[in-house]
């Protein structure tokens, strides 16, 4: 009896974290080296950006070569310091480097999490403009202006669901691997400046809503990113290395989980098919 259904559906969840998202590239490098392919990806904020490149079929090397050339001014284009920026830079990063313009055109399934400020509801994009969805998912209040798209006012998905592992579970994933590049979020700040307190407040809020993402994940990879700032690109090579090392360290557990899950599903499917004979 030949089983046509894929035995194990594997999902990759990529959390938010601003510039710390370089660690996602290190994770991608490790996954490539160990031959782990994901059936679908869910991303929030910078995780949606990394997910777009992965689901477009871009390799680690291709994505890294694009990312290493980025400067803060390419992404944040505010002319007045401490004022929000438009998301034009983010949109151009996607549209200039990924040929597919709509999410549903990507070779691999991608789910992008954002929040509609008009309704206060979480929005999960699996179709429509790729660049707009990514920009909306990355639009941290106070850092970027909200993105107006399809009669919605989109802001950072991390406001409600910074680790969207549940999105993958609801779409049939048997295994969910999560990369959290900002596990130290919510640590507060020693500064009494308005902007620092504002960003710290957002981090505290995101820490609370990230808990459910951990519950829906089988394995959570947590690179040590404490020494890096989410708003600075300094040390991007070290960030990539941290993501790579953390993923390699988790690889024995990942491989064991995938193998055991495949066997259990194979055995269950075989039993069901035998009963039909």
Which of 39, 116, 156, 180 is catalytic? The answer is 156
Q: Is 137 a catalytic residue?
A: no
Residue 154 φ/ψ, nearest 5 degrees? -90, 135
Which of 39, 45, 210, 218 is catalytic? The answer is 45
Tokens of residue 90, six digits = 């983010």
Q: Are 34 and 64 in contact (CB under 8 A)?
A: no
Please choose, from the candidates 20, 31, 70, the residue with its C-alpha nearest in 3D space to the C-alpha of residue 247.
31
Rounded to an integer, what distance in angstroms lies between the CA atom of residue 205 and that of residue 214? 15
Q: What is the separation of C-alpha 36 from the centre of its chain, rounded to a whole number of angstroms?
A: 17
Q: Are 40 and 108 in contact (CB under 8 A)?
A: yes
Return the half-sphere exposure (C-beta side, CA atoms, 13 A cut-off) of residue 41.
28
Q: Which residues pair with 112 in a beta bridge?
A: 43, 125
Q: Are 45 and 134 in contact (CB under 8 A)?
A: no
Q: Is 45 a catalytic residue?
A: yes
Positions annotated as catalytic residues are: 45, 156
């Amino acid at each position: 009896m030949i089983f046509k259904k894929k035995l194990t559906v594997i999902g990759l969840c990529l959390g938010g974290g601003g510039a710390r998202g370089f660690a996602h590239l290190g994770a991608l490098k490790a996954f490539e080296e160990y031959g782990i392919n994901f059936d679908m990806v869910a991303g929030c904020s910078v995780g949606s950006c990394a997910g777009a490149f992965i689901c477009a079929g871009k390799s680690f090397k291709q994505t890294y070569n694009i990312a290493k050339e980025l400067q803060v001014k390419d992404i944040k284009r505010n002319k007045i310091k401490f004022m929000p920026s438009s998301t034009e830079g983010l949109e151009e990063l996607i549209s200039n480097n990924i040929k597919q313009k709509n999410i549903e055109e990507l070779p691999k399934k991608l789910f992008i999490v954002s929040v509609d400020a008009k309704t206060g509801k979480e929005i999960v994009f699996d179709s429509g403009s790729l660049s707009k969805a990514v920009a909306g998912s990355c639009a941290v209040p106070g850092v970027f202006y909200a993105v107006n798209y399809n009669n919605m006012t989109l802001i950072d998905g991390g406001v409600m669901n910074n680790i969207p592992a549940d999105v993958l579970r609801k779409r049939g994933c048997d295994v969910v691997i999560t990369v959290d590049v900002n596990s130290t979020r919510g640590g507060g700040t020693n500064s009494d400046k308005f902007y620092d307190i504002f960003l710290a407040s957002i981090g505290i809020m995101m820490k609370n809503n990230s808990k459910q993402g951990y519950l829906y994940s089988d394995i959570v990879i947590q690179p040590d990113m404490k020494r890096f700032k989410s708003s600075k690109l300094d040390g991007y090579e070290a960030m990539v290395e941290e993501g790579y090392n953390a993923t390699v360290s988790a690889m024995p557990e990942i491989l064991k989980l995938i193998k055991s899950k495949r066997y259990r599903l194979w055995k269950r499917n075989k039993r069901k098919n035998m009963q039909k004979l």
